[in-house]
């Protein structure tokens, strides 16, 4: 009888919150759909697609559009089927079995899974008070001979951001490869995009799933100097981004003014959600700590976060409990109000 190997038996499939009919504030998606102008442009582009042909393996138009949107060298950009694919490529390609990788916990769960499948040794660096201690990270990584450090900035799930100079110092101080996941950096101002060629050990990841409202397309990008980006291009599968995603992604990235408008609306939503939570916190002192984040979600440190998540789901509001925190995505105004109302009711009942 065939037996599945040990590393696969140790895994469980990712199961999203069963939130049919609920207010969805659990996945950090944008609450905004793509503008009609972009949809119309994408429809025209679809008419010119050769559906019987494989997509452009380099996704050249898409990478050029991304580079122009973010003012980086197009030669430093590679596209993928979401950041998740890039994480898999990096772990399988840049790590050998038994080598060490490091994460800064809590962080995105796919990092640990990627290292597990690569049969690498995991060094988990904990964050004192949820914040990254750069000196501790550098010391630990170099002591443990870490070949790959990966972390999100701003962090998912804490929402905290590490400032540019701190990130630069970290990249310079760590001897191994540093993978800087900037999935939420559109909501902050501490990106290292444009500086990737200044470091020979830095790969920056970006996604279209958060601020751009293209979670359904599964589009991600790696940005790095020539040596590293060429290695990623060699390691990825040839036709990893389908033609439809390339066409629609290019149409979106060529309209940065529409992206800025969407971002402004999300930031207004964030301000309203954080303001509402601050008012709730004042009404119920000591029940939770609202972390000062720069993402499209709020992170709450509270002892009974897991129970609160379940109670909210029972009342038709889906949020995420992860990394010991209650994570609430910024939603449309009516979605924020629904969460704040139900959250307040639960705190009142459990006071």
Condensed to tens digits (0 to 9), the pLDDT of residues 117-174 reads: 999 999 999 998 999 999 999 999 999 999 999 999 999 999 999 999 999 999 999 9
Whether the predicted pLDDT of 186 surpasses 90: yes
Q: How confident is the model at residue 34 (pLDDT cuts 50, 70, 90)?
A: confident
Average pLDDT over residues 208-230: 93
Rounded Cα gap, residues 269 and 192, in angstroms: 26
47-52 long-range CB contacts below 8 Å, 24 or more apart?
A: 49/243, 49/244, 49/247, 50/243, 51/243
Q: How confident is the model at residue 232 (pLDDT cuts 50, 70, 90)?
A: very high
Can you give the pTM of this predicted structure? 0.96
Reported as half-sphere exposure (CB side, CA atoms, 13 A), residue 31 has a value of 22
Choice between 175 and 35, residue whose per-residue pLDDT is larger: 175
Identify the pLDDT of residue 46.
80
User: Chain centroid to CA 338: how far?
Assistant: 25
Whether the predicted pLDDT of 55 surpasses 80: yes
- Residues paired with residue 320 on neighbouring β-strands, in sequence order: 327
DSSP 157: T
Q: Dump strand ranges (E) for the chain.
A: 23-24, 77-80, 100-105, 121-126, 146-152, 177-181, 202-207, 220-224, 289-290, 297-301, 317-318, 320-322, 325-329
Percent of the chain with pLDDT over 70: 100
Whether the predicted pLDDT of 213 surpasses 90: no
Average pLDDT over residues 294-323: 96
Whether the predicted pLDDT of 258 surpasses 90: no
Choice between 264 and 47, residue whose per-residue pLDDT is larger: 264
Identify the pLDDT of residue 264.
95
Query: Domains in the chain, please, with CATH?
Result: 6-33+258-350 (3.90.1150.10), 36-254 (3.40.640.10)
Tell me the average pLDDT of the chain.
95
274: CB partners within 8 A, 6+ apart? 290, 298
Identify the pLDDT of residue 44.
85
Average pLDDT over residues 240-248: 93
* pLDDT 10s digits, 98-117: 999 999 999 999 999 999 99
9: CB partners within 8 A, 6+ apart? none
Whether the predicted pLDDT of 18 surpasses 80: no
């Amino acid at each position: 009888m065939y037996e599945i190997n040990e590393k696969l038996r140790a895994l469980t499939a990712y199961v999203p919150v069963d939130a049919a009919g609920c207010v969805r504030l659990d996945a950090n998606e944008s609450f905004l759909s793509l503008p009609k102008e972009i949809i119309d442009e994408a429809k025209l582009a679809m008419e010119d697609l050769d559906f019987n042909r494989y997509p452009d393996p380099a996704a050249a138009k898409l990478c050029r559009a991304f580079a122009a949107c973010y003012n980086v060298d197009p030669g430093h950009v590679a596209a993928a089927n979401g950041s998740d694919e890039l994480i898999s490529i990096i772990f399988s390609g840049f790590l050998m079995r038994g080598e060490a990788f490091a994460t800064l916990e809590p962080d995105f769960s796919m990092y640990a899974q990627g290292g597990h499948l690569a049969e690498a040794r995991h060094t988990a660096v904990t964050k004192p008070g949820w914040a990254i201690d750069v000196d501790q990270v550098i010391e630990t990584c170099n002591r443990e001979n870490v070949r790959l450090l990966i972390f999100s900035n701003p962090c998912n799930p804490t929402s905290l951001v590490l400032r540019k100079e701190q990130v630069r110092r970290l990249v310079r101080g760590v001897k191994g490869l540093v993978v800087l996941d900037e999935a939420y950096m559109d909501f902050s101002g501490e990106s290292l995009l444009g500086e990737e060629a200044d470091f020979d050990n830095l790969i920056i990841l970006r996604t279209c799933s958060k601020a751009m409202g293209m979670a359904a397309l599964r589009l991600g990008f790696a940005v790095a100097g020539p040596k590293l980006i060429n290695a990623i291009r060699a390691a990825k599968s040839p036709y990893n981004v389908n033609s439809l995603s390339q066409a629609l992604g290019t149409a979106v990235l060529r309209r940065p003014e529409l992206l800025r408008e969407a971002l402004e609306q999300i930031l207004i939503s964030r301000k309203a959600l954080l303001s509402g939570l601050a008012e709730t916190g004042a009404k119920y002192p000591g029940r939770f700590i609202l972390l000062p984040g720069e993402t499209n979600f709020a992170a709450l440190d509270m002892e009974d976060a897991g129970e609160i998540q379940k109670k909210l789901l029972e009342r038709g509001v889906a949020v995420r409990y992860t990394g010991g925190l209650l994570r609430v995505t910024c939603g449309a105004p009516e979605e924020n109000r629904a969460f704040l109302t139900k959250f307040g009711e639960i705190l009142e009942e459990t006071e």
